[in-house]
Amino acid sequence: MRSIRLRRPLVALALLAIGAVGATACGTETPAQVGSDDRERAERARRVSEAWEGSEAAKAWQEGYFPLDDPIRLPEDAFHNNADKLAYQTRNIELRGKLPDSSAKKGKIRWRAGGALTVSIDSAQTSYEGLAQGKATRAALVITGARLGERTLLTSRGPATVPAWYFTLKGYDTPLVRVAVAGPAKPPKSPIKSLKLPSDVLWPLGGLVSVSKDGRRVTVRAQHGACDDGPVVDVRETASSVVLSGWIRGRSDGPCTKDLLAKEVTVKLDRPVGERPLVDAYTGGPVPYKN
């Protein structure tokens, strides 16, 4: 097999320890092995969900601010052309105008179901710098101003109204909106230890992509190798948590590269996720949102 080429450092050390993706993804699965793996996955998911029930982690999740949504909302008519789309993807954004000097240092997050939390908010300049991470060129998107407002964001406690900066984009009728909250709280410490190495049974998930408006479809990034049929994500739902178990289907014999790949996988829930934490069965902790 060829030398290892990793695309995600999350499991680099683990892959080296087990012979990398190619070695893990190669080999013939027998019915006995598959059944044993299924039972082991189900048992791990059960232990994870039981560890979260009534835990300090669950309490912190239900009392804190943990976004499950993209902090950036694009203009309604984005994008006018491929050049603008590429400029956004590469964060090639230029400021041509004056940003307001907001005196507000604190703001409130208000949940639709009740409750509020006072948080620090970013200045317009800080939020702009969070957007414009590329080197501005002639093909840049142009910001000409900004105003402080609010937007609705899906969080660990359901929909919430969150302070946000509305940036005016040259040539666009609607603004580019970025959440102004200085950052989510550190995720609660898992009440159960993470597994040590990826295996045929479980792989760590690569992050949360989105939750549908009705809360019943969850999309995550699941990891797999170059010589298999792709990743699978199983779901265990309880009244207090949703445990997601990522694994790899269809490993085959023969030479293959050792690329670590990622694919978006959508799972359907029996009922809306609500305030239940989305938990990775491998790590035992919440699946972090990654845009």
Whether residue 11 is predicted with pLDDT greater than 50 in this model: the reply is no
**With 70 as the cut, is the pLDDT of residue 23 above it?**
no
**pLDDT reading at 155 higher than 60:** yes
Checking if the pLDDT of 257 tops 70, the result is no
Predicted local confidence at residue 5, as pLDDT: 31
Beta strands (DSSP E) in 141-260 are 141-155, 158-169, 176-179, 207-211, 217-224, 231-237, 242-248
Domain ranges of the chain: 9-62+188-280, 67-179
36-54 pLDDT, tens digit each = 889 999 999 999 999 999 9
CA distance linking residue 65 with residue 186, whole number of Å: 9
Higher model confidence: residue 278 or residue 5? 278
Query: Which residues, other chains included, contact 120 with Cβ-Cβ below 8 Å and sequence gap of 6+?
Result: 105, 106, 107, 181, 182
- In terms of Cα–Cα distance, which of 246, 259, 179 is closest to 219? 246
* Residue-wise pLDDT tens digits, 94-127: 999 999 986 668 899 999 989 999 999 999 999 9
pLDDT at 12 over 50: no
| Average pLDDT, integer, range 153-166 | 93
Across 141-155, 230-244, 247-261, least confident range: 247-261
Q: Is the pLDDT of residue 227 over 90?
A: no
Element containing residue 116 per DSSP (H, E): strand 116-120
Q: Please give the pLDDT value at position 152.
A: 94
Q: What's the sign of the alpha-carbon dihedral 113, 118, 119, 123?
A: positive
pLDDT at 29 (0 to 100): 41
Tell me what pLDDT residue 133 has.
85
| Mean pLDDT, the chain, integer | 84
Does residue 31 carry a pLDDT above 50?
Answer: no
